[in-house]
Amino acid sequence: MLGTRLVFGVLMVVGLAVALVVDESLAPLYPAWLLLAGSALLLAAREISSLLSETPAAPSTNSVIGGVLAIVIANWAPHLAGDRGPTAPMSGIEYDPSSPLNVFSWPFLTFNAIVMLTFLIQGVQYDRPGRTMAKIAGSVLAVAYLGLFSCFTLQMRWFAGQYQGLIALACLFATAKGSDTGAYTCGRLFGRRKLWPALSPSKTIEGAVGGMVFGVVATLLVVAVARNVVRVPALSYTAAVVYGVVVSAAAQVGDLMESLIKRDCQRKDASSSVPGFGGVLDVLDSILFAGPVAYLVWMVLGP
């Protein structure tokens, strides 16, 4: 199990890295990023709909998939609209502390429209009392969990500056998945004391500490490559340690919160589509929570 997890983890990281590097010359469209992120989130949308289908908050699968897709597309909209001449900035993200979140207006307005449309659809389909509010709540929760949380990760691709989007994403994925791998490995090898048994009986305090160490090391490796090999601005080494600790912690919380979803739905894994991990949602869980935290830390500590 551990060997399978490591092999598929490495393959996924390498595939993502190749796609992002190839995409660098296709700014601001980034079609490979759109294809990879969109496909992963739509698969995760099916999985979370399946998980919640066994609960009173069983969502509308079509609403969840359509809503997540709409938010993904909305993340590309501000970067493709308007004047894109040679002197125009690639995006509104310029590390301006007075307006760092302007670019999120498109996906958040889209989410508002999705909630309104979900109410309308359920109103048209209404036949008897007792189910509609729960169905709306489940649909909105699923779209918010996958769509809104992922906005921060998606928007990192357009960070202003040469290779800044690529480096920011590399730091996020390396830290979050390094933390996942470290927590799993150290937990299997050294785990004794349970971390949060009500949510995940297999996770241990020793694994959590090991995951944080792995996450910090992964961050430092990405920063070292960026600064010394690629020769582009990146986090300072002190900032990288802070980033690694904070983002690793957020990634582990994300993993635990997905465990909460699965436990409440009485399922061990979201699906069996990814060998060694479970489902696509089991791969994305740490990224979903770590993405907003990583975005904020990069805005504060980034180059």
Instruction: Give the pLDDT score at 93.
Output: 41
What are residue 263's phi and psi, to 5 degrees?
A: -65, -40
pLDDT tens digit sequence for 183-241: 988 988 898 899 998 888 889 999 999 999 999 999 999 999 999 998 888 999 999 99
Structure token pair of residue 281: 């949602």
Helices within 53-97 (DSSP H only): 61-80
DSSP-assigned beta bridge partners for residue 278: 274
Instruction: Give the pLDDT score at 84.
Output: 46
DSSP-assigned beta bridge partners for residue 274: 278
Instruction: Give the pLDDT score at 9.
Output: 66
Q: Return d(Cα 257, Cα 63) in angstroms, integer.
A: 23
Instruction: Give the pLDDT score at 86.
Output: 42
Q: What are the angstrom distances between the C-alpha of 283 and each of 62, 251, 303? A: 22, 11, 29
The amino acid present at 133, given as its one-letter code, is M
> Could you tell me the pLDDT band of residue 5, with boundaries at 50, 70 and 90?
low
pTM for the predicted model, two decimal places: 0.88
| 260: Cα within 13 Å, side-chain hemisphere | 8
Structure token pair of residue 214: 């792995």
DSSP-assigned beta bridge partners for residue 204: 194
Average pLDDT in the chain: 87
CB 151 within 8 A of CB 104: yes
Mean pLDDT computed over 18-23: 84
CB 95 within 8 A of CB 294: no
From the CA atom positions of the chain, what is the Rg in Å? 20
Q: Return d(Cα 259, Cα 265) in angstroms, integer.
A: 10
Nearest CA to 245 out of 294, 197, 284 is that of 294
The amino acid present at 162, given as its one-letter code, is Q
Instruction: Give the pLDDT score at 1.
Output: 57
Instruction: Give the pLDDT score at 89.
Output: 45
Q: Return d(Cα 34, Cα 65) in angstroms, integer.
A: 16
Structure token pair of residue 105: 């207006």
Peptide bond into 59 cis (omega under 30): no
Q: Return d(Cα 21, Cα 163) in angstroms, integer.
A: 9
Q: Kindly tell me the sign of the dihedral angle through the C-alpha atoms of 52, 55, 59, 60.
A: positive
> Could you tell me the pLDDT band of residue 303, with boundaries at 50, 70 and 90?
confident
Q: At what angle do helices 61-80 and 132-143 cross, to 10 degrees?
A: 40
Task: Report the first-to-last Cα separation within the chain, whole angstroms.
Answer: 39
Buried b (16+ CB within 10 A) or exposed e, 249-282: bbbbbbbbbbbebbeebebebbbebbebbbbbbb
pLDDT tens digit sequence for 81-119: 754 444 444 444 443 434 556 788 889 999 999 999 999
Q: Return d(Cα 107, Cα 297) in angstroms, integer.
A: 21
pLDDT tens digit sequence for 26-53: 888 999 999 999 999 999 999 999 999 9
Structure token pair of residue 99: 């307006």
pLDDT tens digit sequence for 138-165: 999 999 999 999 999 999 998 877 788 9
